[in-house]
A and B are shown apart, each in its own frame.
Chain A
């Protein structure tokens, strides 16, 4: 019984059903352990954590330059920017804006840089439901290929103060 001393000879290998279950469970754990490295090499969705140190000021500068060279329009006063396919795209998180609006092409691959100028934020792409953490001081690079077209929303899903729920943005993907 579990509240009294165990019998003196408790150090015994399991038998019967218990043994079968341990075998099954261990096998399943092994399968799951192999799945992640497998997906890393053969799957299309991975979070590799590629990132570089950057100060918020430096990052704001890069974003500014990116907007200047690639701006194609405006929406609600927010610049709409179309990066070259295969090139770098920049997204800036700050209380409580995602800047700029990105215009991408379906099937093209971009190096999407995301960083924050102030607090931590959460990049959440809807309705895709893809989520990545955004930290100040870290340039988080996602090598991203949109596989569907349309207008997508970005919301913030890391608490960033009282205006957190108003922090939305857009990614537009054209065929």
Chain B
């Protein structure tokens, strides 16, 4: 076996027997895991659905990028808002949820050596999610639902729009319950020993938050659906915003949990890393569960109807413990890679391990770039924009999409792409074509989305609004214009969007080609993405020493502190308001 899954120290102590019905299980030739064949089927279905919607959303993305680039200004106003609605929902809801469902089927049944609790529930989940997604897309493309992803009342969409979202949410909820029930029967049947593996633990955290999230979704979407049909006379806009963001924000925490779980998974698969302290990693996941829900407050920081006390309390107390959790993962993941690499003999200096890391393995480069982009880009901007008073300079400007395209795209979507380079050979049992292009793809996507986000963030700091068709305000009663700097950054957004879209398209083509035409590797281990280089050979190192990572996180903290106080400084220069 040439892949590096063997690199860690622990013995993969499988419980002697799973609880699979006969002939419904196979042993993975690469990892030795028992793969429940029912789960394998649903991993495939959800992954394929995710990739299809990634493509649809990606086409939307490049159209949006080219519209916001003032020199190109591609779409009409009508189609810009329609495509914006489509892009937000297809990416953030349909694509991401399908991917996460695939991850749940892996982290539950496969990692726990257990059969899936219910194939029927899995079918219901899949059909509802797909049906909801198609309904939603039809509603948007029919032109009756140009309300953007948030559908803030009293903007009204067609009832099919809300029903599509409800179906998606309920379908997902059924899938999540199926996952939790699988954990229950794995436990009951002792298919695994001791505690849950870390990746399953993280996925369980994601699942728990997802349940709370989806309940918020039902609470807000069902009345709004009834309102859209005239059955309920009025929905209060402030109530809607608060409850909707219970769905909208908390689902981001589901994404973060899933992404971090994928980081741990890929760190193990690509370098044999194992967590330094399991307690710390698990504790950080628990912080997510406990302290994230009220962080939806940071979408309401300049809203009427909620007091300053409420805003401050709910951003600082609750958010900063979740931030702490992310900062912990941001350390433990690279530190575990550092220790694993040092153990292999790449022990030179502060960063010898980092240079020697398998950068040509898209599973590794994708996950590590995702970690860096999420931390340096998304984490820092997120906390700063979510600071109650600083939000005055950011709310509804392009700084906001600038932020979340380095969290949920450069972070989550990229991590999901990275793990796909393992899902296809291990679960679809197909080999990729054009491995050179595969190796390039994560770098290209990371570069493109980082440029696009920088463009959005800086344009936003001039006050350029998000969700806005025309920064030249053609036809407005009072002319407004932005200075050339803002236009230049919007151009950068356009260029970044084209690069990111190219990488996204490449990804889709590579995956489709592999899934449909790739060489089957059934019966033998997957082709390794990288060869272990010959080095001094394994050595023993202190498993709690990670000086390189320490240096990196200290640089990170310095950037964080500087950006944070710079923003306070800018804030001090605007008009006084209370």
Pairwise interchain contact A46-B578, C-beta atoms closer than 8 A? yes
Q: A166 on the interface (CB 8 Å rule)?
A: yes
- The residue in chain A whose Cβ has the minimal distance to the Cβ of B77 is A162
- Least distance between A30 CB and chain B CB atoms (Å): 8
- Least distance between A162 CB and chain B CB atoms (Å): 6
Which residues of A have CB within 8 Å of B303? Answer: 49, 133, 135
Pairwise interchain contact B473-A166, C-beta atoms closer than 8 A? yes
8 Å CB interface, B163-208 against A: 192-195, 197-199
Which residues of A have CB within 8 Å of B195? Answer: 5-6, 10
Candidates B308, B466, B577; contact of A145 at CB < 8 Å: B577
- Least distance between A75 CB and chain B CB atoms (Å): 8
Q: B546 on the interface (CB 8 Å rule)?
A: yes
- Least distance between A161 CB and chain B CB atoms (Å): 8
Candidates A1, A48, A131, A166; contact of B393 at CB < 8 Å: A131
Pairwise interchain contact A158-B152, C-beta atoms closer than 8 A? yes
Which residues of B have CB within 8 Å of A130? Answer: 392-393, 574-575, 577
User: Could you tell me the distance between the alpha carbons of A166 and B469 in the complex, rounded to whole angstroms?
Assistant: 10
Q: B276 on the interface (CB 8 Å rule)?
A: yes
Pairwise interchain contact B575-A47, C-beta atoms closer than 8 A? no
Which residues of A have CB within 8 Å of B144? Answer: none
Which residues of A have CB within 8 Å of B12? Answer: 1, 4
Candidates A1, A3, A32, A43; contact of B389 at CB < 8 Å: A43
Pairwise interchain contact B577-A17, C-beta atoms closer than 8 A? no
Which residues of A have CB within 8 Å of B29? Answer: none
User: Could you tell me the distance between the alpha carbons of A24 and B554 in the complex, rounded to whole angstroms?
Assistant: 9
Given A39-B389, A119-B155, A136-B154, 19 more A-B residue pairs with CB atoms under 8 Å apart are A4-B13, A8-B194, A12-B278, A17-B545, A20-B550, A24-B557, A36-B312, A45-B577, A49-B303, A78-B477, A132-B395, A138-B238, A139-B304, A145-B576, A157-B467, A158-B467, A161-B155, A162-B77, A164-B469
User: Could you tell me the distance between the alpha carbons of A153 and B477 in the complex, rounded to whole angstroms?
Assistant: 11
User: Known contacts A32-B564, A46-B389; is A2 also within 8 Å of B275 by CB?
Assistant: yes
Pairwise interchain contact B193-A5, C-beta atoms closer than 8 A? yes
Candidates A29, A44, A124; contact of B323 at CB < 8 Å: A29
- The residue in chain A whose Cβ has the minimal distance to the Cβ of B8 is A1
Interface band, chain B: 35 or more
User: Could you tell me the distance between the alpha carbons of A164 and B148 in the complex, rounded to whole angstroms?
Assistant: 13
Q: Which 7 A-B pairs have the closest CB atoms?
A: A51-B304, A16-B544, A157-B465, A140-B304, A129-B463, A10-B278, A2-B198
- The residue in chain B whose Cβ has the minimal distance to the Cβ of A12 is B279
- A interface residues, tally (CB under 8 Å): 91
Pairwise interchain contact A46-B317, C-beta atoms closer than 8 A? no
Which residues of A have CB within 8 Å of B237? Answer: 120, 135-138
Pairwise interchain contact A170-B396, C-beta atoms closer than 8 A? no
Pairwise interchain contact B557-A47, C-beta atoms closer than 8 A? no
- Least distance between B33 CB and chain A CB atoms (Å): 8
Give the interface centre of B78, B269, B275, B465 by most chain A CB atoms within 10 Å.
Answer: B465
Which residues of B have CB within 8 Å of A46? Answer: 308, 388-389, 577-578
8 Å CB interface, A55-80 against B: 75-76, 78
Pairwise interchain contact A128-B574, C-beta atoms closer than 8 A? yes
User: Could you tell me the distance between the alpha carbons of A139 and B478 in the complex, rounded to whole angstroms?
Assistant: 25
Pairwise interchain contact A120-B568, C-beta atoms closer than 8 A? no
Q: B218 on the interface (CB 8 Å rule)?
A: no
Which residues of A have CB within 8 Å of B564? Answer: 32
- Least distance between B526 CB and chain A CB atoms (Å): 15
Which residues of B have CB within 8 Å of A78? Answer: 477
- Least distance between B203 CB and chain A CB atoms (Å): 11
- Least distance between B271 CB and chain A CB atoms (Å): 11
Pairwise interchain contact B280-A165, C-beta atoms closer than 8 A? no
Candidates B31, B474, B482, B576; contact of A3 at CB < 8 Å: B31
Which residues of B have CB within 8 Å of A128? Answer: 463, 574-575
8 Å CB interface, B495-545 against A: 542, 544-545
- In the complex, 6 of the A-B residue pairs with CB atoms within 8 angstroms, ordered by the A residue number, are A2-B265, A24-B554, A78-B477, A122-B396, A135-B241, A137-B237
Q: A94 on the interface (CB 8 Å rule)?
A: no
Pairwise interchain contact A143-B542, C-beta atoms closer than 8 A? no
User: Known contacts A131-B397, A159-B81; is A3 also within 8 Å of B199 by CB?
Assistant: yes
- The residue in chain A whose Cβ has the minimal distance to the Cβ of B10 is A1
Pairwise interchain contact B13-A165, C-beta atoms closer than 8 A? no
Candidates A12, A109, A122, A162; contact of B465 at CB < 8 Å: A122
User: Could you tell me the distance between the alpha carbons of A155 and B476 in the complex, rounded to whole angstroms?
Assistant: 10
- The residue in chain B whose Cβ has the minimal distance to the Cβ of A25 is B327
8 Å CB interface, A88-141 against B: 97, 109, 118-120, 122, 124-140
Give the interface centre of A4, A15, A17, A132 by most chain B CB atoms within 10 Å.
Answer: A4
- Least distance between A8 CB and chain B CB atoms (Å): 6
Give the interface centre of A1, A14, A109, A164 by most chain B CB atoms within 10 Å.
Answer: A1
Pairwise interchain contact A147-B576, C-beta atoms closer than 8 A? yes
Which residues of A have CB within 8 Å of B477? Answer: 76, 78, 97, 166, 168-169
Q: Mark B322-335, 1 if CB is under 8 A from A, else 0.
A: 01100110011001
- Least distance between A34 CB and chain B CB atoms (Å): 8
Which residues of A have CB within 8 Å of B306? Answer: 49
Which residues of B have CB within 8 Å of A17? Answer: 331, 335, 544-547, 549-550
- The residue in chain A whose Cβ has the minimal distance to the Cβ of B391 is A47
Q: B394 on the interface (CB 8 Å rule)?
A: yes
8 Å CB interface, B198-248 against A: 198-199, 236-238, 241
Which residues of A have CB within 8 Å of B308? Answer: 40, 46-49
Which residues of B have CB within 8 Å of A135? Answer: 237-238, 241, 303-305
User: Could you tell me the distance between the alpha carbons of A158 and B537 in the complex, rounded to whole angstroms?
Assistant: 59
User: Could you tell me the distance between the alpha carbons of A159 and B307 in the complex, rounded to whole angstroms?
Assistant: 24
Q: B437 on the interface (CB 8 Å rule)?
A: no
Q: Mark B309-345, 1 if CB is under 8 A from A, else 0.
A: 0111001110011011001100110010000000000
